[in-house]
Chain A
Amino acid sequence: MSNTAMVKKYRNDFLREVEEKVEEGDWVRMCMQCGVCAGSCPLGDAWEHPPQEIFMMIRAGKREEVLGSDSMWMCTSCYNCIVRCPRELPITHIMHGLANYAHRLGLAPKANPTRRFAKIFWDNIATSGRVNELKLSLGLYFMDGFGNGIKKALAMKDVGLGLLKTGRLDPMGLFKAGGIKDKSGLQKALKKAREIEDTRKGY
């Protein structure tokens, strides 16, 4: 199990683990705890632990609390924290990196809707090369089963109809292959990329 392997390898040096394994993780020790990121985040209220707290928790070795947190999943990728951080930490990327790492180790909160949506999104584009908007939305609505899916789809009915009437949604999107021509080439390249990354990170 990769998670156990990481725990064994890094013991309780979670900072070193983050520095080595998480995208842009080597920036974490540069945080000076000013909190500008927390005040700048559009979804700030929804974060149990705002970024500067996450950084301090990493340094304090609070591995499970950080990787199991749904805080990073509140990032809307608006880059406000990045442009405002006095020390120029790439906070958005670190949050994405932590979320990705937690997800890959199976420690991210299972029910978090953004985690699940992000996975559906990636599978959607990695298969066909381009976003299929109808499959993407229906995939999200129906991820909790058929009954729930119908309920959610009905709640969104008017939005869908509006897009349909203005020619901004393809009703046949479910049945069309769509996407790029060289799907197989892209799929092979992405498979290779995943293999290389997995080897480098020891997943």
Chain B
Amino acid sequence: MATREYSFYPGCSSEKKTSASNYMVSVESMCKTLDVKLNEIPDWNCCGASIGYAEGGELPRTVMNARNLALAEEDSPGQDIVATCAACWLGTRESHERLGKDETLLNDTIESLKEAGINYEHKPEKNIRHMAEVLIEDIGYDEIGSHVSKPLEGVKIAGYVGCQTNRPFGIHGESYENPKYLDKLVETLGADPVEDYDQKVTCCGGALAFSEPEKSQNQIKKILESAYDFGAEMIVTPCPVCQMNVEVYQDQINKAHGTKFHIPVTYYSQLMTVAFGGNAKEAGLNGNIIKAKKLEEIAAK
């Protein structure tokens, strides 16, 4: 089997000792099994996230993403860029699209980046993709299934797709309102998808979990409640912000509302690593604040 190779944009939350460092650990394990080679963009910078808009205007935000695009092309010419973070993916792809449409923006970006000694050349054919797209479109469920050595039998999992992995770009062939790829992936790994999970594309509040905690926690409460209502034992997500927001505020929500939420929130890559026979450490399970006991048990088998 030929090695698949991509230019890789890991993003700020993937670094060691940051909020999604365990996501990265599991992505590395997953890619090892799938024979996917990730070429990290040298000296990549932040995408500006969405919340950067207030102070960073359109041009400064575009410049940040164009710097990464230029560094990626220089390091791994012609390769698709893959991001594991929803915001990184969105920011990079959005900037790339705008650079292709708006000549003034393109020229201003080129001029700005010259200050950093970077020569930006626009490559319209460059694809900026989310890891979920690589899994579904390039590798496919069948091949993923062929690596399953420890099926996640009997685990009921709610696929929480969230916002930015789903909108505005989405995964080819999936709807915005009811994307099914996480459910299909859960099924491929031998677990039971919670197909009635009606809050699968509800926003967790994103960055407003910091600045407007009450309003965001109302959102998170809905996302958790629905998972419980339909019998989920675990939530799975493709987004680092979704993962963090839905996991870490459960205690605060419990205190405010008298609820008893205590449900693990995992990444798809953690499920895959365990189903592929990896151990708990390789799946980054030590990074989950609410322990994914069922996964730990399967990993220890």
Contacts and interface: CB of A to CB of B under 8 A. Distances in A.
B206 A77 contact: yes
Contacts of A158: 251-252
Interface in B70-103: none
Nearest to B290: A162
B205 A103 contact: no
Interface in B43-63: 43-46, 48-60, 62-63
A168 B211 contact: no
A2 B164 CA distance: 35
Contacts of A92: 168
B219 A193 contact: no
Interface residues of A, number: 66
Contact of B163 (A80, A99, A117): A80
Contacts of A114: 51, 54, 207-208, 211-212
B54 A168 contact: no
Contacts of B115: 185, 188-189, 191-192
Contacts of A140: 210-211
A103 to B, nearest CB: 5
Interface in A75-108: 76-80, 82-84, 92, 96-97, 99-100, 103-104, 108
Contacts of A201: 57
A182 B248 contact: no
Contacts of B39: none
B116 A121 contact: no
B211 A116 contact: yes
Interface in A148-184: 158-159, 162-163, 165-170, 173, 180-182
B112 interface: yes
Given A80-B163, A117-B211, A131 B58 contact: no
Contacts of A190: 60, 63-64, 112
Contacts of A167: 17, 21-22, 286-287
Contacts of B298: none
B164 A130 contact: no
A115 B170 CA distance: 28
A195 B33 CA distance: 48
Given A42-B203, A196-B59, A196-B112, A83 B176 contact: yes
A77 B50 contact: yes
Main secondary structure of the interface of A (DSSP, over half): helix
B113 A189 contact: yes
B19 interface: yes
A23 interface: yes
A199 to B, nearest CB: 10
Given A80-B163, A123-B55, A166 B12 contact: no
Interface residues of B, number: 69
Nearest to B48: A125
B251 A113 contact: no
B17 A46 contact: no
Most chain A CB within a 10 A radius of its CB, from B49, B53, B56, B163: B53
A123 B118 CA distance: 22
A13 interface: no
Contacts of A133: 12-13, 18-19
A113 B57 contact: no
B154 interface: no
Contacts of A169: 17-19
Interface string A31-51: 000000000001100100000
Interface of B: 12-13, 15-22, 43-46, 48-60, 62-64, 67, 104, 108-109, 111-118, 163-164, 167-168, 170, 176, 201-203, 205-208, 210-212, 215-216, 219, 248-249, 251-252, 286-289
9 contacts: A82-B168, A114-B54, A115-B54, A119-B55, A121-B49, A125-B48, A126-B56, A131-B18, A167-B287
Interface of A: 23, 42-43, 46, 74, 76-80, 82-84, 92, 96-97, 99-100, 103-104, 108, 113-119, 121-123, 125-126, 129-131, 133, 137, 140, 158-159, 162-163, 165-170, 173, 180-182, 185-186, 188-194, 196-197, 200-201
